[in-house]
Amino acid sequence: MSRPFPARSRRCLAPLALACALVVALGVPASVEAAPPPTQLDLGPDAHRPVVPGERSPGPDAKLPTALAPVKPKPKPAPKVRPEPKPVVLAPRVRRRERVPDLIVQVDGGRVSVPRSIVALAAQADHFPDLMGYALDITVLKPATARHAFGARLGLLVPLVPAANWYQDGPDAKRPVFTELDVVGLDLAFEYLYRRKVVGPVGFFVRAGLGLAFAIGSVRRTETLPTCAPEQFARCPHWRRAGTQPNTLPSPVWPALRATGGLFVDLGRHLSLSFEGGLRDALYVGGGVAFRK
């Protein structure tokens, strides 16, 4: 059984019960101040946005904020692929085109000699001095290309053959004949030149020529004294005037032939040196200088 409140306690609770009744009747807590009246919202004629009193209304073209578009994540960059190195292709070597000169003037000089076997067969002699001499040539060429040229040559041949007794050995040999050569040769010939560089300024060339050789002078042959013994044929004295034969040169005109080749070295643009050998009326060895314009 519950114990009843004392009378004194009931008297204290009476005012509290009255206060609670008032709170319940008014619907407002006693400790809370009175709230402001609610704000009235008016809808505009377009009924798109409510109008709040005291708030600046937006213009007719204003748009309400829309929902933010979703942010698309940036795609990850593709890994860079290292390009494969391109194969190195060497450009074809272009040979520098040689300059074609307008004119070539070449001056040559050298030694000319006739083989002894040829002289022995032609003169019917076993003992005679060497037939040799010196040649000087001037050639003017007109280049057709950088390697081919054509022109003319003027040459001079000076024999250096001492006067001596020409004779044979043996009991049936002819008596010696004192022979003197007072002859010079003059060449007029057409020439062709082919030249080609090999390494840098060094190259080779070939020359060919054909023309006429004119023998200017005479060949005198004088018989020796009949009292000369065979063992003295080399030094046997000859007649001074009597017994001298007329000019025994077979012909004053001979073919002028040339077939030589050699090396050249260019010394700049207009000058070159050459060394050659071959046939130039006889066996020839010499060199020269060429001027290119």
CATH number at residue 273: 2.40.160.20
Residue 160 counted as domain residue = yes
pLDDT of residue 10: 56
Strand 164-166 to 177-199 pairing: antiparallel
Report yes or no on 31 lying in a domain. Answer: no
Mean residue pLDDT of the chain comes to: 81
Domain contains 33: no
* 0.85 surpassed by pTM: no
| Predicted local distance difference test score (pLDDT) of residue 23 | 54
**28, part of any domain:** no
In a domain, 190, yes or no: yes
Whole-number pLDDT of residue 75? 77
**In this predicted structure, what is the pLDDT of residue 11?**
59
| Number of structural domains in the chain | 1
Residue 1's pLDDT is 46
Which positions of the chain have pLDDT values less than 70?
Answer: 1-70, 91, 93-96, 171-172, 241-243
Whole-number Å distance between alpha carbons of 10 and 234: 192
Q: Is residue 189 part of a domain?
A: yes
Output the pLDDT for position 32: 46
Phi-psi sector, 236: left (phi>0), alpha (psi -120 to 50), beta: beta
Q: 112 lies in a domain?
A: yes
pLDDT at 96: 66
Q: Where are the beta strands (DSSP E) in 200-266?
A: 202-223, 253-266
> Is residue 89 in a domain?
no
